[in-house]
């Protein structure tokens, strides 16, 4: 029998990279197969190969050069006796991704103990040698989480180690400006940049951002709300990448001014999260609203807002899109006591978003009238969630069964694609309207029908019985009342 082409073997085994059990079997075929499989295992499954992280850490420490071992021994850092005394058969570290900070901590804690102080000199020196080990050996990896004060770019091998970075997560409180400036000379092909806890302008980070040629995805994560600052230069640097950035995750509590938003002309996806109360973030919300009102994202496809309900500004954004919006989501947390213009938002979506598939939004009962045009114009709508504002400005919602109007509108429009619906309990629904609604879906069926209920005031046992009846009859596949 002819021998299988070597390139074919490599391709086949690469296709099995997620099947660890089969890969382990391939290891035993012969030396050639072993040479193919080992790099794959260490690239995709390094932390699962040995069954325990302790065994893995011992293998990693076996690569420390003898000079380093002697240095550590001289400062009374004793390495485990279980590390290999002879060099391993493969340079495993050259195959694996750069470790997460938690794994570096795990290696240090295994040697110095779990409760060692991170400010201890021994901790710093051991951490330095472990990072040096990976920087000197890792090649062509794509992802790095930089959460250490160690000057990674000054270690031997840094230019090779970091040249192919695709994604960088960074906490500027750790990385010093000079190290980031050196990184800007090495790494110019970042696709994803994630920034955590940025409390002040950071010239090294500005240089790194400016060096990127095709930065497409930007994540700005939550800061401690008590650490207020102003990162004007960082905002300007991000604005200079407005032509390439296509995805944005923005936690509202951060110190980078929102002014860069107006430069993101090619944005396709935006997520804005507010994890704090409205009172705590009043200033940030005010600034955000100011820049959202004058921003234009014509290519927008995905919009998600959590804890922020700036309906007027959202409506303006929708009005300036080109019809590509597929997902529009506003989370159940209102973020503000009084909300207006829910109808205007639905009206703009019905006019400017013919391709929308998923819509989650708040609505006042007086704006139910706009739902009909939404269903008529958005023929690809698949999932719909309407939340009640449930505040004192909604006096009409206290009327019994005001939700019947909404059910009748949904029943009257035969939108074939719509098969997932969630409504608020707060409007109230009569048994008759509920039955008419389900009967209208008898021919096409619903994948899910849910009612968001907190008070169990309007939804009675009779309502639940009707819903269960239609689930048993196959009109609804799933409901939260089953």
pLDDT in tens, 268-278: 999 999 888 77
Q: For residue 335, what pLDDT is reported? A: 44
Q: For 213-281, where are the alpha helices, taking DSSP H only?
A: 232-239
Residue 170's DSSP bridge partners are 146, 195
Determine the distance from the C-alpha atom of residue 212 to the mean position of all C-alpha atoms in its chain, rounded to a whole number: 21
Identify the bridge partners of residue 306 per DSSP, sorted by sequence position. 273
3-state class percentages of the chain: helix first, strand second, coil last, to nearest 5: 45, 10, 45
Give the pLDDT of residue 344: 92
Q: Domains, the chain, ranges and CATH?
A: 140-478 (3.80.10.10)
Q: For residues 72 and 108, what is the distance between their CA atoms, to the nearest angstrom?
A: 12
CB 162 within 8 A of CB 185: no
Handedness of CA 372, 374, 380, 382 (dihedral sign): negative
Q: What does the pLDDT look like over 175-229, one tens digit per residue?
A: 888 999 999 999 999 999 999 988 888 899 999 999 999 999 999 998 777 777 7
Per-residue pLDDT of the chain (482 residues; tens, 9 = 90+): 456 666 676 666 666 566 666 666 666 677 777 767 777 776 776 666 655 778 888 888 888 888 888 888 888 888 887 776 777 777 778 778 888 999 899 899 888 876 666 667 888 999 999 999 999 988 888 999 999 999 999 999 999 999 999 999 999 888 888 999 999 999 999 999 999 988 888 899 999 999 999 999 999 998 777 777 788 999 999 999 999 999 999 998 888 999 999 999 999 999 999 888 777 788 888 899 999 999 999 999 999 999 887 899 999 999 999 999 999 999 865 444 456 778 999 999 999 999 999 999 999 999 999 999 999 999 999 999 999 876 434 444 445 789 999 999 999 988 899 999 999 988 999 999 999 999 999 988 899 999 987 666 678 899 999 999 999 999 999 999 87
Whole-model pTM: value is: 0.86
pLDDT at residue number 61: 87
- Which residues have a Cβ under 8 Å from the Cβ of 244 and sit 6 or more positions away? 212, 213, 214, 215, 216, 266
């Amino acid at each position: 029998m002819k021998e299988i082409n070597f390139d074919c073997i490599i391709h086949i085994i690469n296709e099995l990279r997620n099947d660890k059990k089969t890969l382990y079997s391939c290891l035993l075929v012969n030396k050639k197969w072993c040479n193919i499989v080992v790099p794959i295992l260490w690239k995709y499954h390094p932390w699962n190969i040995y069954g325990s992280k302790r065994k893995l850490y011992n293998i990693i420490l076996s690569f420390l050069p003898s000079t380093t071992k002697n240095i550590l021994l001289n400062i009374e850092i004793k390495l485990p006796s279980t590390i290999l005394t002879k060099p391993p058969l493969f340079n495993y570290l050259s195959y694996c991704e750069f470790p997460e900070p938690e794994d570096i901590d795990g290696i240090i804690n295994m040697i110095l103990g779990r409760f060692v102080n991170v400010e201890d000199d021994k901790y710093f020196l051991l951490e330095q040698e472990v990072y040096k080990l990976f920087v000197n050996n890792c090649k062509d990896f794509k992802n790095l989480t930089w959460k250490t004060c160690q000057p990674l770019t000054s270690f031997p091998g840094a230019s090779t180690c970091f040249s192919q970075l695709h994604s960088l997560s960074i906490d500027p409180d750790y990385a010093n400006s000079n190290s980031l400036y050196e990184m800007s000379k090495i790494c110019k092909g970042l696709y994803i940049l994630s920034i955590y806890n940025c409390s002040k302008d950071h010239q090294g980070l500005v240089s790194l951002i400016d060096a990127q040629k095709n930065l497409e995805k930007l994540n700005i994560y939550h800061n401690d709300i008590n650490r207020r600052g102003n990162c004007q230069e960082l905002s300007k640097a991000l604005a200079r990448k407005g032509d390439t950035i296509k995805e944005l995750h923005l936690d509202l509590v951060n110190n980078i001014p929102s002014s860069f938003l107006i430069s993101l002309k090619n944005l396709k996806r935006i997520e804005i999260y507010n994890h704090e109360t409205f009172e705590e973030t009043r200033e940030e919300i005010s600034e955000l609203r100011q820049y959202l009102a004058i921003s234009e994202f014509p290519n927008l496809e995905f919009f998600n807002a959590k804890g922020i309900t700036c309906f007027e500004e959202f409506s303006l954004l929708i009005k300036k899109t080109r019809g590509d919006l597929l997902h529009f989501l506003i989370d159940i947390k209102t973020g503000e006591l009084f909300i207006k213009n829910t109808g205007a938002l639905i009206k703009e979506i019905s006019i400017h978003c013919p391709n929308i598939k998923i819509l989650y939004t708040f609505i006042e009962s007086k704006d139910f009238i706009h739902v009909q045009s939404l269903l008529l114009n958005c023929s690809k709508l698949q999932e719909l969630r309407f939340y009640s504002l449930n505040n004192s400005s909604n006096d009409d919602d206290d009327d019994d069964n005001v939700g019947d109007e909404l059910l009748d509108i949904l029943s009257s429009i035969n939108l074939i694609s719509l098969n997932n619906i969630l409504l608020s309990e707060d409007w109230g629904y009569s048994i008759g309207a509920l039955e008419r609604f389900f009967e209208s879906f008898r021919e096409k069926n619903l994948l899910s029908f849910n009612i968001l209920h907190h008070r169990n005031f309007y939804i009675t046992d009779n309502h639940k019985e009707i819903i269960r009846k239609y689930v048993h009859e196959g009109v609804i596949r799933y409901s939260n009342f089953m």
